[in-house]
Amino acid sequence: MYISGGQNDIGRGQFEKDVWKFDAFKRTWSVVTQMEIPRRNHGTCSSDTELFVLGGFGKYRVLLDSFQKYDTVTGTSDTVTGRRNDKKEINS
């Protein structure tokens, strides 16, 4: 089980950048990596060996269009930034 990010002391801009992993055998939590871009209200999903942390809000309530990929086998992580299109067209 993993937990990531969030905001401490809401309204004061103190973001949690750590990604934590729970070891069910030892019943302990440990920090496995830090997110490059602090975020809250984000989503997470996973594959067999990768954890993805995506979207959410950054500091100053900025909507984020990036995600971070964490490889649970190698312990490496990468951040991918996207392009958010603020002008959405609706075709009728």
Q: In this structure, is residue 89 part of a structural domain?
A: no
Q: Which residues of the chain have pLDDT under 70?
A: 10-11, 83-92
Counted domains in the chain: 1
Q: What is the pLDDT of residues 32-45, one digit of tens each?
A: 999 888 899 999 99
Q: In this structure, is residue 91 part of a structural domain?
A: no
Q: Please choose, from the candidates 14, 13, 26, 41, the residue with its C-alpha nearest in 3D space to the C-alpha of residue 53.
A: 41
What pTM does this model have?
0.76
Q: In this structure, is residue 14 part of a structural domain?
A: yes
Beta bridge pairs of residue 78: 69
| Cα 23 to chain centroid, rounded | 20
pLDDT of res. 83: 60
Q: In this structure, is residue 16 part of a structural domain?
A: yes
Q: In this structure, is residue 92 part of a structural domain?
A: no
Query: Domain range spanning residue 60?
Result: 2-81
At residue 61, φ and ψ (nearest 5 deg) are: 60, 30
pLDDT of res. 87: 44
**Cβ neighbours of residue 90 under 8 Å, at least 6 residues apart?**
none
pLDDT of res. 81: 82
Q: In this structure, is residue 86 part of a structural domain?
A: no
Q: What's the CA angle centered on 84, arms 66 and 67, to 5 degrees?
A: 10
